[in-house]
Amino acid sequence: MKHHAFRLTYGMDLRQGIEDYCRDNDIHSAAIVTVVGCVYKVRIRLADGETIEEYDDRYEIVSLTGTVSPDGSHLHVSLADEDGRVIGGHMCTGCLVNTTAEVVLVSLDEEYRFSREYDDSTGYDELVIRKR
């Protein structure tokens, strides 16, 4: 297990930035440890699996969790507005960093190989975990 820490800055796409970091550092199996910071544009898919909501306002990142593989990511985010109200869901591309996003993730490449494969029972590309 290897830990990684990096920072994304204003205007960067939060999801894409995490995926790019993993690709650029040859990380194939990662889990998010923590992310703190804020965004000014949000795109999340809701629990119905279809509805994508977009928000153009400042939000604090309360939590971000998930897995990253070369075939894609599965990331869930919780965000608080200026009144402390929380929204959340499946994080799509289009969540743009406001001042900063401090990301810590762990690479599990030594033990596992993550991939994503279509699952007929869910209709999504789901995580496949292979022991190395």
> Over the stretch 7-58, which tens digit does the pLDDT of each residue have?
999 999 999 999 999 999 999 999 999 999 999 999 999 999 999 999 999 9
* Alpha helices (H) in the chain, listed in sequence order: 14-24
Note the pLDDT of residue 58.
98
Burial (CB count <10 Å: 0-12, 13-18, 19+), residue 40: middle
The answer as to CATH 3.30.930.10 being correct for domain 2-131 is: no
> What are the sequence ranges of the domains in the chain?
2-131
How many percent of the chain have pLDDT more than 70? 100
CB 88 within 8 A of CB 79: yes
Query: CA-to-CA distance for 91 and 77, rounded, in angstroms?
Result: 6
Note the pLDDT of residue 101.
98
Note the pLDDT of residue 39.
98
